[in-house]
């Protein structure tokens, strides 16, 4: 990125935390070590046909379970302030509930202590998609109401153990993804009596109840903790200025962010649009539950990678009905990247592994304003994941070209400058977490789709900084208030 004169009117506040993120199944490996029980992803990756298109698994992954000390030392050396990781529920409770595995507790004790020793702020997520298999098999996992009590009991163990050492907590990662897309399409939940189109909403309902319980558990242990959950979705740009497209944009916000953010930030209940369009699928909260859920997020923790153009569905704005084939998108709106092809650096023809992701950082200030104005988070906004997979990065063979990642570098540079603009306009952004600490198992896409600011040689398990790692911290070196 070309050298530019420092803009003196920009700065990150002194206590702004900038970090990197990873998640247990994507990085840990050691799936049979020290008493870990299986999670649904062990089955999804090992079954035939595999749910991972490359037939790869998380069995070894980045070997983080054994190399975490080195991993934390490396990010400390880089000048990173925070490390966000997730706990493997089935390590701590191999059967999801009941017997606690002390070895797992001691492992995470040491991960946390190592962070503190290096002056890295640990940030911990309780659930990043790796559900204990036993809970899936006993009652359908997130589709069973039993999950609420089991998650609450898990949260009690976690908060009682680490509340004195960890301040920043995230309960549940990106429910629209695991309730809506993973692994519903492959029929993983077929043993349930709940009709497929209703499943995302039952799952989401249990997520909200489980999250709210965990929040209250955390606060009863230590009321000063920061506890939130993580939503995801891109900025929604109105495709044309027609009122139909404006309505479509509102629907997109409600079906993606609002589904979880309105109950927790606004009124304990789903957005009116959802109650209207998917009323046949959406469970109801009692007044008591609404009061219990309302206000259970301290910061707006959003995984905000990209932007999308939003427009009325082909069949017209009035065709929105819950009778369409996929209940998550009941013909209420369409999204497109095509309009932007000549504008965004990376279009849908970029990385074939991530068609949902464009480098669309120009809209970040508007995105941040929208989040602040709509959900008014008390503790501000954090971008808890952002990053990009470079086109065809997976095909590069020589180390030198692997380590030069100009598109990712400019993505971080431009995104952080956009945050500086928003900060100067009064948006309260408190932190960023780059996805990811290093290349890892990109779920169904396998190891070929790479999001890391470090490359990992999966044969030798050696780690290497990519150019984007230096670009990321350098923006803070220039703009963080001293
Ligand atoms: C996140 N979208 O998922 C996950 O939390 C990570 O585990 C994952 O590796 C990372 O993004 C990169 O994919 C997302 O469609 C999935 O906007 C989909 C979207 C965003 C994030």
Give tens-digit pLDDT for 108-134: 999 999 999 999 999 999 999 999 999
Active site residue 385: yes
Q: Is the pLDDT of residue 340 over 90?
A: no
pLDDT tens for each residue of 87-114 = 999 999 999 999 999 999 999 999 999 9
Q: Ranked by mean pLDDT, which of 191-195, 292-296, 391-395 comes out on top?
A: 292-296
Q: For residue 14, how far is its CA from the centre of ligand 1 (angstroms)?
A: 29
Helices in 308-452 by DSSP H: which ranges? Answer: 364-375, 399-403, 406-424
Burial class (CB in 10 A: 0-12, 13-18, 19+), 90: buried
Helices marked H in 223-286: 243-253, 259-261, 272-277
Q: What is the percentage of the chain residues whose pLDDT exceeds 70?
A: 92
Partner residues linked to 310 by β-bridges: 238, 335
Residue nearest to atom 16 of ligand 1 (CA): 177
Of all helices (H) and strands (E), which one includes residue 86?
strand 82-86
How many angstroms is it from 432 CA to the middle of ligand 1?
15
Nearest CA to ligand 1 atom 17: 233
* CA atoms of 181 and 204, how far apart (whole Å): 12
Annotated catalytic residue within 56, 257, 385, 442: 385
Confidence tier at 318 by pLDDT (50, 70, 90): confident
Q: How far, in Å, from the CA of 6 to the mean position of ligand 1?
A: 32
70: pLDDT strictly greater than 80: yes
Cα(272) to centroid(ligand 1), Å = 27
| H or E, element range at 92 | helix 89-92
Span 290-305, average pLDDT:
98
Longest dimension (CA), the chain: 62
CB 248, CB 313: distance < 8 Å: yes
Residues in a beta bridge with 122: 83
Ligand 1 centroid to residue 175 C-alpha, Å: 11
Give the rounded percent of residues in the chain with a pLDDT score beyond 90.
78
Instruction: Return the residue whose CA atom lies nearest to atom 9 of ligand 1.
Output: 442
Which of 435, 437, 439, 448 is the best mutation target for the ligand 1 pocket, counting ligand atoms within 8 Å of the beta carbon and taking the most? 435
What is the DSSP code string of 152-209? HHHHHHHHHHHTTT--EEEEEE-HHHHHHTSSGGGTTTTTSSS-GGGHHHHHHHHHHH
Mean pLDDT of the chain: 92
- pLDDT value, residue 335: 86
State pTM to two decimals: 0.96
Residues with CB under 6 A from ligand 1: 23, 26, 173-174, 177, 232-234, 303, 305, 356, 385, 435, 442, 451
Q: What is the pLDDT of residue 144?
A: 92
Window from 274-283, 458-467, 473-482 with minimum mean pLDDT = 274-283
10 Å Cβ neighbour count for 13? 12
Cα dihedral 417, 420, 424, 427 sign: positive
163, 222 Cβ separation under 8 angstroms: yes
Which of 25, 303, 386, 389 maximizes ligand 1 atoms within 8 Å of its Cβ, making it the mutation to test the pocket? 303
Kindly indicate whether the ipTM for this predicted assembly is greater than 0.85, answering yes or no: yes
User: Comparing 55-69, 317-331, 405-419, which segment has the lowest mean pLDDT?
Assistant: 317-331
> Over the stretch 168-222, which tens digit does the pLDDT of each residue have?
999 999 999 999 866 554 456 555 788 888 888 999 999 999 999 999 999 999 9
- What is the Å distance from ligand 1's center to 365 Cα? 21
The helix or strand, by DSSP H or E, that contains position 64, with its residue range, turns out to be helix 64-78
Please say if 174 is a catalytic residue.
yes
In this structure, what are the phi and psi dihedrals at residue 259, rounded to the nearest 5 degrees? -50, -40
> Which span out of 45-49, 126-130, 315-319 was modeled with the highest average pLDDT?
126-130
Please pick, among 28, 56, 174, 471, the residue that the annotation labels catalytic: 174
């Amino acid at each position: 990125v070309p050298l530019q004169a420092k803009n003196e009117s920009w700065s990150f506040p002194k206590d702004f935390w900038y970090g990197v993120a990873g998640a247990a199944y994507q990085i840990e490996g050691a799936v049979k070590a020290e008493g870990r029980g299986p999670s649904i992803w062990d089955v999804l990756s090992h079954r035939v046909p595999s749910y991972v298109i490359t037939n790869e698994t998380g069995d070894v992954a980045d070997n983080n379970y054994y190399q975490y000390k080195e991993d934390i030392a490396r990010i400390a050396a880089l000048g990173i302030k925070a490390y966000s990781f997730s706990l493997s529920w089935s390590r701590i409770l191999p059967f999801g509930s009941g017997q606690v595995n002390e070895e797992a507790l001691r492992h995470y004790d040491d991960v946390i202590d190592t962070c503190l020793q290096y002056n890295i702020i640990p940030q911990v997520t309780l659930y990043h998609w790796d559900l204990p298999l036993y809970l899936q098999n006993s009652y359908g996992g997130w589709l069973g109401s039993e999950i609420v009590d089991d998650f609450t009991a898990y949260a009690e163990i976690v908060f009682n153990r680490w509340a004195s050492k960890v301040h920043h907590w995230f309960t549940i990662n990106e429910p629209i993804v695991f309730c809506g897309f993973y692994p519903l399409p492959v029929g993983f939940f077929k043993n349930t009596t709940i009709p497929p189109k209703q499943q995302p909403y039952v799952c989401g309902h249990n997520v909200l109840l489980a999250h709210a319980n965990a929040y209250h558990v955390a606060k009863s242990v230590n009321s000063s903790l920061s506890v939130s959950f993580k939503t995801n979705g891109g900025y929604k740009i109105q495709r044309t200025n027609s009122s139909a497209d404006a309505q479509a944009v509102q629907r997109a916000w409600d079906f993606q962010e609002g589904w979880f953010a309105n109950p927790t930030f606004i009124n304990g209940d789903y957005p009116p649009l959802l109650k209207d369009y998917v009323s046949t699928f959406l469970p109801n909260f009692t007044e008591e539950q609404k009061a219990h859920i309302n206000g259970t997020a301290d910061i707006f923790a959003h995984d905000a990678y990209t932007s999308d153009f939003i427009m009325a569905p082909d069949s017209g704005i009035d065709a929105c009905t819950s009778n369409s084939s996929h209940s998550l998108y009941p013909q209420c709106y369409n999204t497109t990247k095509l309009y932007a092809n000549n504008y965004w650096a990376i279009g849908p023809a970029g990385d074939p592994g991530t068609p949902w992701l464009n480098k669309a950082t120009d809209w970040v200030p508007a995105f941040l304003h929208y989040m602040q104005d709509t959900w008014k988070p008390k503790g501000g906004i954090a971008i808890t994941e952002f990053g990009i997979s470079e086109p065809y990065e997976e095909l590069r063979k020589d180390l030198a070209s692997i380590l030069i990642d100009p598109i990712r570098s400019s993505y971080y540079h431009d995104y952080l400058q956009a945050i500086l603009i928003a900060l100067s306009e009064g948006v309260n952004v408190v932190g960023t977490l780059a996805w990811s600490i290093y290349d890892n198992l990109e779920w169904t896409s396998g190891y070929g789709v790479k999001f890391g600011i470090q490359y990992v040689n999966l044969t030798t398990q050696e780690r290497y900084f990519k150019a984007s790692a230096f670009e990321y911290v350098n923006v803070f070196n220039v703009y963080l208030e001293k």
